[in-house]
Structure formats: structure tokens, C-alpha cells
Chains A and B, each alone.
Chain A
Amino acid sequence: MDLLLPAATSGLVLGLVYALVALGLSFIWGVMDVVNLAHAEYLMLAMYATYWLWALGRIEPALATPIVVPVFFAFGWVTYRLLIRRILQAPLAAQIFATFGLLFVLRYAAFFAFGPNVYGIWSAQAAGSTSVLGVPIAAPKVHAALVSLAAFGALSLFLRHTKTGKALRACAQNREVALTLGIPVDRMYALSWGIGIASVALAGVFLLPFYQVSPTIGDAFLLVAFASVVLGGFGRVDGALVGGVCIGLLENVLGTLLSPTFKFLFVFVAFVAILLVRPQGLLGEGGR
């Protein structure tokens, strides 16, 4: 019992962080059916941006949000205009290779620009600790978890209650019909890339106070982000939330109680089992 509670609490917090990382991936995937394999590289670049703002400008990560997030929104928009738009009608394999190529371009650009060194920040904000259900958890992790919940809430409200949000959903449901209704589908797609990349940048900003950055750091999060999206269910933004939390809990609780060495084995056995029963994911609505 003295293991279960700390494991479950950190699992929940970690799961919310995973969900925040997966949010943008899920959103782009849901709106336009493009799997962005370079997703975690944007996370890495946002962490570098946050790091340099802290190191050179002494800007605390949370205060860097209004700088980093809009910049990455534009970055996502530009990525769509320059690359993704050209491969929308291409076969699935071409799309996969294009984003896979993008992964390497971004990663080695980071190697070129920043070298292989590892950077992390060490500040008052990073040092604090809070107590959740009596379990000590690093304050920045709790902040990231709360930001995750807020981001999911905000995106959900945006999609349900604004005209643009409804237009985005229309594009996701049926591109052709959306076109005939006069929705500027191309702009909506660019917008979804902007939002998707901005949200992963938000994850990067709040990850940096407790996780260090190096050019290959995306590897630690890409698989987990994919699993969150698939497990939670395609086409629903809150699917990533449920999926992320499930993975965080499975990893930490089963890992701690049984064997940490096999923690991802447990996660992926559960993952396969759930998909056998519900191929559309936990929250997914029917087949596509």
C-alpha cells in the first residue's frame, strides 16, 4: 500500500503530462488524417526555445508561454503550407515518409544548432515541491498536469462553441462536404497544424522545468504520445487525455508493483488487449 498510492499519484500526474504532449498529435490526426511522425521534434525545439529564453533572457518558463506558443503556432502553419499541403492527396506511405523525413531534418538541425549537449534548467520554479494526496510531487510536474487539463478544456470549448471550431469539426468529418458548404478547408488545415504544434510547444514549455532537452529527447515521448492517441480513440481530442492518463497509470502502478523493467511491456499488452476489444479506442465512435 505504501507503494500503490505514490505510484498511482505520480502515474496520474505523468499521464496528464503525456496527454498534453499527445494533444497536438491527436488533433492534427483527427482533423486531417495525417500522422505527424515529427511531432516530438517540435516538442524538443520548443524545449530549446524555452531553455534559451531562460538562459539568455532569464525568462521563467511559465512566462515564456506567450512567446513560445505563438511562435510555434506560426511554425506549424508554415510547416503545413510548405510541406503538408503538397502531400495531402498523396498515398499514405508518402505522407509517412514525408513526416519521417521532417523528423530527421528537425532533429539534425537541432544537432547542428545546439550540439549534442544536454540542457536543463535549474531555477526556483523547478525546485519546488508540493503534496498531492500526501505524496510529494515536484511542483513543475503538477503545473504541467494542470496546464494539460486546462488545454484540453479550452480546446474542447473552442471546438464546440465557436464558428471556427465547428468548421474544423466539419473538415474532420467530411472534407468534400465541408468544401461545398464554403468552408475554407485549406485554411482550416493550416489552422489545425498551428493549433497542434502550438499545443505541443505548450507541453515543451512546461516540461522543461523537470525534463532536460537534447536533440534526441523526442524518442522518450513519441511512442507514448502515439499510444495515447490510439488508446484513447481517433478523432476525439479528449481521447488523448484518457489514453495518456491510462498509460501513465499502467506504467507507474504495474511497473512499481510488478517490475519496472517491464513497465512498457505491461502498457503495450494492455494496449493490444484494449484494441482487440475496441479497435476504435476507448472513446472512439465506431469504425472509420
Chain B
Amino acid sequence: MRPITRRQFLQDSAVALASLALGDRLAAVLAGQEAPIPIGAVYPLTGALARIGAVIRNAIELAVDIVNTPYPDLNLPLARTAGLPRLGGRRIRVVWGDSRGDPATGRAEAERLIEQERVVALIGSYQSAVTATASLAAEARGIPFLNAESSSPRLTERGFKWFFRTGPHDITFTQIMFDMVEDLKRKGHRILRVAVLAEDTEFGATAAGVAKGFAQARGYQLVAMELYTSPPSSLTAELLRIRAANPDFVIGANYLVDAIVITRTLKEMRWFPQGFLTHAGFTTVPDYLNAVGKDGYYFLARAPWALGIGRRKPLVLRVNELYKRRYGSDMDEVAARAFTGMLTLADAINRAGSTQPAAIQRALRETRIPADQLIMPWRGIEFDSKGQNRHATGVMVQILEGEYKVVWPFEVAEAQLVWPAPPWDRR
């Protein structure tokens, strides 16, 4: 070991003491950098939704890392540079708030982050109910709030000035079904008659109402609309009636158990419409195919995102690879949406060139992120006057050969959409 001289010792101690005394800021200046910009994130980190909260946290931290360190080969906003170039390379840092899945706690956490942590913007909060209250705190204090995952249409109908949503909402999910059918009509399919089969609580009844509205607005004939109570002991009466109405396609809003009854009853009746499009959450659950096997093929479901779009969009696979290397599992749709939300917010702060909330708000309004810089199946990100991303959409997946394959929009499809679905005796 080299002996330490008296002079050296004094020098080193002085630097160390100065760093300790003046804290992060001086240390950062000494390191040639200012303190990172604090961004607040309010999510359910504990409680019943903690698992989803952890996924979101992973996705957001990956996005922050992509902003803060250079990834020269990634075509994402702020990936190639270190930190925010228009703010002299300053880094960003996330300050976490735990909503515990509760609207009141979410709001209190948002207030704490704004007032005590001095965050320049907020991102959150997964559940629509928590997003509604947490964004209220931001609106009252004039802090931008970016939401990436909540799906209640009401959130962007409140006329808030500081609220922005990158992801799609529930009405979008019905819209994409009709958009897909429009595309099919353009390809020469004759599709006019639609039937709706939905469970009769908030989820199903709302979706049924929205489907009815789209059918009327776009000139389809709504030939049957049947609501039932879940779990149903039988859906024979409902499906006999729908079959008698002879729809070209059926829109379903059903729970998993209902979907199994529907599948089996359709098979029993030896009838299948040209297409059966569902809002069902069962798309992500293997239980469905375990229960019905091959009989579940050709059903279509909407999804906000699917890893399968990576086949046509290599960027998705590259980001998924980074994610998987860090966390050991594939990205899911919630992760993809949260990741995109964080990058959008960082992009706005960079373009604002300032940490002033009003400048960030203005930059968010002027956001123009093109499709090729997104891991989402969207045509881009641009906010309308209500703060909703006008390009937010989803994908349609179809069960083909035992897997969920992205089949629409056609430009990101990984497999050919099978339409009309083959009759039972030719499967």
C-alpha cells in the first residue's frame, strides 16, 4: 500500500466533507451534472393489485433507464442520448407513491409527491378510480398528470387542463371491432347484421350499449341484443334467438365461465357466425383453451397490446428483450402501456426545456411521437383538446392453432385473419 501524504489526505477529506455537507446537489455538480428531475408515480405498490403495481414499476424503471443512459441502437424517444438533451443532459428520477389501490390514498400520495417531493409531473395510477382522484390533486395544483393505463372514458371527459392519457379507453375497444369489420368490408366481405351477447352488470351492459351506438352510427343492423346474468346455468335460449336473427357477426362481453358455455352451446347448435368478437378478459387466461380445446379456435378478442406485434415491429422485441433480461419475464400489455407513458412524459419535459409545470403542459399538448418510435400498435401519439391520445387503439387477436395471434390492424398482424370462421364440420 502506498503511504498517504498529509497533503493528499487533507484534499480528499475536504472533498468528501464538502460532498457530505452540501449533499446531492454539490456532488452532482462536482460530477459535472445537476440533480435528476423528480417525476412522481402513484401506483398500487401494495395490496391486492401489488403484482400489477410491480410490473408497472419495472416497466417505468426500464423507461427511465433508457432515457438516462444511451441506447444508440434503439429508435425510441430519448434513447440515443444520456438524460434530457435540452436540459443539458439532466437525468430523470421517479419518486414512488403507493396508492394501495385506494382512491383516497392515491390522492394523498399525489399531494405528498407534489408538495414535499416537489415533483414536476405525475404519472399514474392504473385503476380508473384512483387515476380520477390522484389527477384531481394535480389539477388543483397545476401539475401535469399523465395516465397510461386507465380505461374509463370519463377521465378525459372532465375538461381537465393538466390531464393527458396516452392509452385507449373502453369506447376505443368497441371502436376497433367495428374498424376491423370496416376493413373486412373493404376487402369484399358482406357484413351488415350484428348481434350482441353480454352479461348484465357494468362491464357487459356498458359494452353492449356502446356496441349498439356504433352499430347505429355506422349503418349496421342490430338484429339481437341479449343480456344475461353471470354465471349462467345455460345460454341456450339466448343463442337460439341470436341464431334465429342470423347475424353476420356477434359482439360478446362475457366472463370466462360464460365464454365456455357460449363456445359449447354454439358447437351443440352447430352454428357459428362469420365472426365472434369478444371483450372478454379470458383472452389472457389459459383456462379458456384448457376447458374448450379446439372448440375455442377462431374466436376474436380485442387487446390493448400483444407481444405478437413484434413480428412486424422489431422494436417491440428489442425492448422486450431488455425487459426480460432485467426482470425475467416477457412484457405484458400493462407494462407496454406504462413504459410508453413514461417515455411520452420524458419526451415532453425534454421539449419543454424547463421543469416549469406550465412549460411541460404546453409541450405535452404539442406532442408528436411517430408510430415507428412506439412499441404500441398505434399510428402515433398526439393529444386532442381533452388530453386523449387521438391515435390510441388496440389490436384484435384470434385464437389460431391454440395460440392468440395478432390479426388486426393488418399492418402489425402476425397471422392471417380467418374470416369467415369455418363451420363446425370443417374444423
Decide if B268 touches A14 in the complex (CB within 8 Å): no
Interface string of B11-38 (1 = CB under 8 A from A): 0000000000000000000000000000
Closest chain-B Cβ to A230's Cβ sits at a distance in Å of: 17
Smallest beta-carbon distance B232→chain A, Å:
6
Contact of A211 with B261 in the complex, beta carbons under 8 Å: yes
B285–chain A nearest beta-carbon distance, Å: 8
Known: A3-B244, A251-B234. A118 touches B291 (CB 8 A): yes
A261 and B228 form a contact (CB under 8 A): yes
| CB-CB nearest in chain B for A252 | B237
Q: A interface vs B, CB < 8 Å?
A: 2-3, 6-7, 10-11, 14, 18, 117-122, 127, 129, 136-138, 141, 210-212, 214, 216-217, 219-221, 224, 251-252, 255-256, 259-261, 263-264
Interface string of B225-256 (1 = CB under 8 A from A): 01111011110111011001000000000001
Those of B234-290 within 8 Å (CB) of chain A: 234, 236-238, 240-241, 244, 256-257, 260-261, 264, 267-270, 285, 287-288, 290
Q: A118-B260, A214-B257 are in contact. Are A14 and B236 (CB under 8 A)?
A: yes
* B-chain residues with CB within 8 Å of residue A260 when the two chains form the complex: 226, 228, 237-238, 241
Contact of B237 among A121, A122, A219, A263 (CB under 8 A): A263
Select from chain B the residue with minimum beta-carbon distance to A264: B229
B200 at the interface (CB under 8 A from A): yes
- Known A-B contacts A118-B291, A119-B287; the reply to A137 vs B268 at CB < 8 A is yes
Closest CB of chain A to B385's CB: distance in Å? Answer: 39
At the interface, yes or no: B293 with Cβ under 8 Å from chain A?
yes
Does B74 sit at the interface, judged by CB under 8 A? Answer: no
Contact between chains at A120 and B292 (CB < 8 Å): yes
Q: Given A224-B233, A261-B226, do A3 and B268 touch, yes or no (CB 8 Å)? A: no
Whether B268 pairs with A129 at a CB distance below 8 angstroms is yes
- Pick from A3, A210, A212: contact of B240, CB under 8 Å: A3
A10 to B241, CA, bound (A): 13
Q: What chain A residues lie within 8 Å of B290 (beta carbons)? A: 119-120, 122
A sample of 27 cross-chain residue pairs with beta-carbon separation below 8 angstroms, ordered by A number, consists of A3-B240, A3-B241, A7-B236, A11-B236, A14-B234, A14-B236, A18-B233, A118-B287, A118-B291, A119-B291, A122-B291, A122-B293, A129-B270, A136-B268, A210-B264, A211-B261, A212-B257, A212-B260, A214-B231, A219-B231, A221-B233, A252-B237, A252-B240, A256-B236, A259-B226, A260-B237, A260-B241
Instruction: Please measure, in the bound complex, the distance between the C-alpha atom of A132 and the C-alpha atom of B64, giving whole angstroms.
Output: 64
Which residue of chain B lies nearest to A55 when distances are taken between CB atoms in the complex? B290
* Contact in complex: A120, B260 (CB < 8 Å): yes
Q: How far is the CA of A260 from the CA of B240 in the complex (A)?
A: 9
Task: Chain B residues near A219: list those with CB within 8 A.
Answer: 231
Q: Which residues of A contact B264 (CB under 8 A)?
A: 138, 210
Q: Are B237 and A256 in contact (CB under 8 A)?
A: yes
Q: What CA separation (Å) do A221 and B231 show in the bound complex?
A: 9
Report the minimal beta-carbon distance from A222 to chain B, rounded to whole angstroms. Answer: 10
**Secondary structure type dominating chain B contacts:** helix
| Inter-chain contacts of B228 with A (CB < 8 A) | 260-261
Considering the complex, give the chain B residue whose CB is closest to the CB of A216.
Answer: B231
Query: Complex formed: what's the CA distance from A172 to B100 in Å?
Result: 55
B257 contacts A138, C-beta separation under 8 Å: no
Closest chain A residue, CB of each to CB of B255: A118
A261 touches B257 (CB 8 A): no
CB of B270 within 8 A of CB of A136, answer yes
User: B238: which A residues are within 8 A, CB to CB?
Assistant: 255, 260
Contacts A214-B257, A261-B228, A264-B229 given: A120-B291 contact, CB under 8 Å?
Answer: yes
In the bound complex, residues from chain A placing their C-beta under 8 Å from that of B268 are: 129, 136-138, 141
Residues of B within 8 A of A120 (CB): 260, 290-292
B296 to chain A, nearest CB (A): 9
A217 to B261, CA, bound (A): 12
**Known interface pairs A10-B236, A122-B291, A129-B267; 14 further A-B residue pairs with C-beta atoms within 8 A, sorted by A's residue number:** A6-B269, A7-B236, A18-B233, A118-B288, A118-B291, A119-B291, A122-B292, A122-B295, A136-B270, A210-B264, A212-B260, A212-B261, A260-B241, A261-B226
Interface residues of B in 209-233 (CB under 8 A from A): 226-229, 231-233
Q: How far is the CA of A221 from the CA of B233 in the complex (A)?
A: 6
Are the C-beta atoms of A217 and B237 separated by less than 8 Å? no
A255 vs B257: C-alpha distance when bound (angstroms): 21
Bound form: Cα–Cα A251–B238 in Å: 10
A45–B264 Cα gap in the complex (Å)? 22
Q: A10-B236, A117-B287, A120-B291 are in contact. Are A2 and B244 (CB under 8 A)?
A: yes
Contacts of A252 in B (CB 8 A): 234, 236-237, 240
CA distance A193 to B53 in the complex (A): 47
Q: A138-B267, A214-B257 are in contact. Are A121 and B291 (CB under 8 A)?
A: yes
The answer for the CA separation of A214 and B229 in the assembled complex, in Å, is 16
Interchain CB contact under 8 A, A118 and B270: no
Return chain B residues, CB-CB under 8 Å to A210: 264
Residues of A near B260 (CB, < 8 A) are 118, 120, 212
- Chain B residues, CB < 8 A from A261: 200, 226-228
| Nearest CB on B from A207, distance (A) | 10
Residues in A with CB closer than 8 Å to B234 are 10, 14, 251-252
CA distance A7 to B389 in the complex (A): 47
Distance A260 CA – B241 CA, assembled complex (angstroms): 8
Chain B min CB distance to A142 (Å): 11
B359 CB, nearest partner CB in chain A, Å: 47
CB-defined contacts of B237 to chain A, threshold 8 Å: 7, 251-252, 255-256, 260, 263
Q: How far is the CB of B290 from chain A (nearest CB, A)?
A: 7
